Amino acid sequence: MGPTKIAEGIYNVGVIDWNIRDFHGYSTWSGTTYNAYLIMDEKITLIDTVKREFVDELLNNISQIVDPKKIDYVISNHTEMDHSGGLPRVMHKIGEGKPVYCSKMGNKNLADHFRQGLNYQPVENGGELKIGKRTLTFLETRMLHWPDSMFTYVNGDKILFSSDAFGQHYAGYENFDDEIDDHDIMHHARKYFANILLLYSPLIVKLVEKVTEMGLQIEMICPDHGIIWRKDPSKIINAYVEWSKQVPKRKAIVIYDTMWRSTETMAKAIADTLALEGVDAKPMHLRRCHKSDIITEVLDTAAIIIGSPTLNNHIFPSIGSFLTYMEGLKPAKKIAAAFGSYGWSGEAVKTINSHFETMGFDIVDPGLRVKYVPDKTGIEACQEFAKKIAHAIPA
Ligand code: FEO
C-alpha cells in the first residue's frame, strides 16, 4: 500500500499480508502486517525487513522515499523469518558489505539461518549508534520473542521500535491506535500476547521495570506487526504487565470434543450450572473454536475444565493437541477439572489429569466420567461437579 510517514523523517515501509489465515498454527483471521521502518538521517537506516516473498513490495515502498542503494545501516531487531527472511535480498540490493546491527544472539542466529557472510555488527545491551542528529539505543529483550530479540529506541523522537512485543496480527489500512476501535485492537493485542508471549510473562514484568528504571520516555511504540501505539503507549505497556500477572477472573472455560454428543451434553450442563453459580462460563468445542482463540480466553480464566470422550483407550486427538499447545505456553494460577463420556475403559479423565499435574494446575475434583449417554443422574452429576468447581473459584 506504500510507505506511511509516522514522524518527521521516519516511515513505515512494511507490507500488509491480507490473506494469511494460519501463522504457524495461530489463526490470523484478520491477516497481519510485517512492519519495517526507514529513518532518513545522515545515515539512512532501515529497521527490520519482511517475509522473503514480500521483499519486492518492501523495496518498492523504500523507493518511494529514497533509492534503496542509499541505505547505510540495517538494524535487525529479531531473527525470525517474518522479519529477516527478506534480509539477504535487501542486502544484495543495497550492498552486502553494509553493516547489519543486531544483538549478540542475533549475530549467531542470523548466521545460522543464512549461512552467508553479511557484515553483522553485534551491539551491546544499552549500546548506542549515532546516525546523524538522532542516536539509537539498543535494548536486549531476550525471549521476547526469541533469544536474539532486541528493541531499538530513537532518542529525540522518543520512539520505541519493539519488534514482536506489543504487536497484533491485524491487517488494515489503519496505521495508528487512534484510527481504530480500541476494543478491537486490544483484543488482537491480547490474543497475540496469549499465543506468542504468555510463557515469557515473568520476563515481561522485569523488562517493563528495566525500561522504567532507565527513564526512557516513550511517545510512540512501533511494533513489527499491526498498528502503531501513539495515542497512549502506556496503555499497551500496562496491559502487558496486567496480562503477565495472569490474575484470574471469576471465569471458567469448558473445553471439549465429542464423538456422539455425550461429552458435549456434559459440557453444556457443566457450563450452564457454572453460569447459574455466577461464573462467567463458556463452552468451547475444540473442532469449532480455534486453539489460538481458546488460549486467548485461558489468559484471565480461573478454571480450565476439559472434557474428552475415551477413544482407543486414550484422550481424543484434538484434546491431546490442545493440551500440548497449552502446556508449551505455561499458563499459571489455574484450577482445573476433567470430565468425559466413555464406553468400557474410560482413561480420558485420568490422562487429562496427568497433563493438569504437569502444568501445575490445582485439580479441584478427581474427575467426572459418565458411561455412554448421560441420563438424568448423569446430568445431576455434571451439575454437582460444576457447583464444586464454582465454589473453588475465588470470588
Ligand atoms: Fe514476528 Fe517472532 O516473529
Instruction: Dump the DSSP string for 175-228.
Output: -BGGGS-HHHHHHHHHHHIIIIIGGGHHHHHHHHHHHHHHT---SEEEESSS-B
Catalytic residue among 83, 169, 225, 355: 225
Ligand 1 atom showing the smallest separation from residue 149 Cα: 2
CATH numeric code, 252-392: 3.40.50.360
121: nearest Cα among 137, 100, 141, 136: 100
Dihedral sign, Cα of residue 327, residue 331, residue 332, residue 336: negative
As given in the structure block, the three cell numbers for residue 363 are 485439580
224 C-alpha vs ligand 1 centroid, how far in Å?
Answer: 8
Nearest CA, atom 3, ligand 1 = 80
CA distance 32 to 92: 26
Q: What is the pLDDT of residue 211?
A: 83
Q: What is the pLDDT of residues 259-308, one digit of tens each?
A: 999 999 999 999 999 999 999 999 999 999 999 999 999 999 999 999 99
Which set of grid coordinates corresponds to residue 60?
Answer: 518498492
> Cα(346) to centroid of ligand 1, in Å?
41
Set of cell numbers at residue 383: 451439575
Q: What is the SS3 assignment for 150?
A: strand
Q: Is 80 in the pocket of ligand 1 (CB under 6 A)?
A: yes
Give the cell for residue 235: 496503555
pLDDT number for residue 214: 83
In this prediction, residue 337 carries a pLDDT of 98
Report the CATH superfamily, name and number, of domain 4-245. Ribonuclease Z/Hydroxyacylglutathione hydrolase-like (3.60.15.10)
Tell me the three state secondary structure of residue 6.
strand
Q: Which of 78, 83, 188, 355 is catalytic?
A: 78
Strand-pair partners of 101: 75, 121
- What residues contact residue 178 under an 8 Å CB cut-off, 6+ apart? 230, 231
Confidence grade of residue 170 (pLDDT, cut at 50, 70, 90): very high
Single out the residue of 132, 128, 129 nearest to residue 8, CA to CA. 132
Ligand 1 lined by 51 (C-beta under 6 Å)? no
Of all helices (H) and strands (E), which one includes residue 49?
Answer: none
pLDDT in tens, 340-354: 999 999 999 999 999
Q: Could you tell me how many helices (H) and strands (E) the chain has, helices first?
A: 12, 24
- What atom in ligand 1 is closest to the CA of residue 196? 2
Say if ligand 1 is within 6 A of residue 148 CB.
no
Mean pLDDT, range 49-68, rounded to an integer: 98
Domains of the chain, by residue range, sit at: 4-245, 252-392
| Cα-to-chain-centroid distance, residue 268 | 29
> Tens digit of pLDDT for each residue in 232-260?
999 999 999 999 999 999 999 999 999 99
Give the pLDDT confidence of 108-150 residue by residue, as tens digits. Answer: 999 999 977 899 999 999 999 999 999 999 999 998 989 999 9
Cα angle value 272/278/279 (rounded, 5°): 70
